[in-house]
C-alpha cells in the first residue's frame, strides 16, 4: 500500500510540472555547429615526425666498446657517460673485491658538486662473458634512453 502511495505521488508531481512549466523552445541535443571561416585553409598542416633513435643499436655498440677496453692485467672494465645539458656523469665499473668476487659499481654525480650516489651489485665469483655483455648492455641502454653520451674514461679530465 505504501509503494502505491509513492508512485501516485510521483504521478501527481509530474502532472503538476507539465501543467505549470512551459515546454522547452528547442531540444538540448541540437547545438549549432560553428561555421568555418571563408579565408581559412581547410587542410590540416602535417606535423614533422622526429627521427626515431635506435637505442638498442647504440647500447650494443657502446657496450662492445666498453668490453674492448678491458684492462689486460686486472680484467676490470669501465664505462663513462655524460649528460652535457644537466652537467651529470654516470660511471659503471666491473671490478673484483678483496676476495675475488666480481661486482658491478654504478656511480653517478653532478659536475662541480660533492653530491652523487653509488650502487654495488655482486655478480659472483665465476662471471661469464654473456653476463658481462648483458650488464654493460643494460647500463648503456638506460643511459642512451636518458640522452647521455658515452665518453672515454681514459681521456676524461
**pLDDT (tens digit, 9 = 90+) per residue, 64-122?**
999 888 888 888 999 999 998 999 999 999 999 999 999 999 999 998 888 899 999 99
Whether residue 142 has pLDDT greater than 90: yes
Whether residue 4 has pLDDT greater than 70: no
Contact between 108 and 117 under an 8 Å Cβ cutoff? The reply is: yes
pLDDT at 50 (0 to 100): 81
pLDDT at 79 (0 to 100): 93
Amino acid at each position: 500500500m505504501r509503494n502505491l502511495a509513492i508512485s501516485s505521488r510521483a504521478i501527481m508531481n509530474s502532472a503538476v510540472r507539465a501543467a505549470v512549466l512551459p515546454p522547452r523552445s528547442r531540444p538540448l541535443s541540437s547545438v549549432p555547429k560553428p561555421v568555418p571561416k571563408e579565408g581559412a585553409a581547410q587542410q590540416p598542416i602535417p606535423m614533422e615526425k622526429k627521427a626515431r633513435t635506435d637505442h638498442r643499436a647504440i647500447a650494443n655498440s657502446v657496450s662492445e666498446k666498453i668490453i674492448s677496453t678491458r684492462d689486460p692485467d686486472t680484467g676490470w672494465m669501465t664505462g663513462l657517460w655524460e649528460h652535457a645539458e644537466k652537467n651529470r656523469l654516470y660511471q659503471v665499473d666491473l671490478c673484483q673485491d678483496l676476495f675475488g668476487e666480481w661486482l658491478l659499481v654504478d656511480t653517478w654525480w653532478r659536475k662541480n658538486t660533492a653530491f652523487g650516489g653509488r650502487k654495488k651489485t655482486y655478480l659472483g665469483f665465476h662471471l661469464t662473458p654473456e653476463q658481462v655483455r648483458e650488464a654493460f648492455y643494460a647500463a648503456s641502454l638506460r643511459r642512451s634512453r636518458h640522452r647521455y653520451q658515452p665518453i672515454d674514461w681514459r681521456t676524461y679530465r
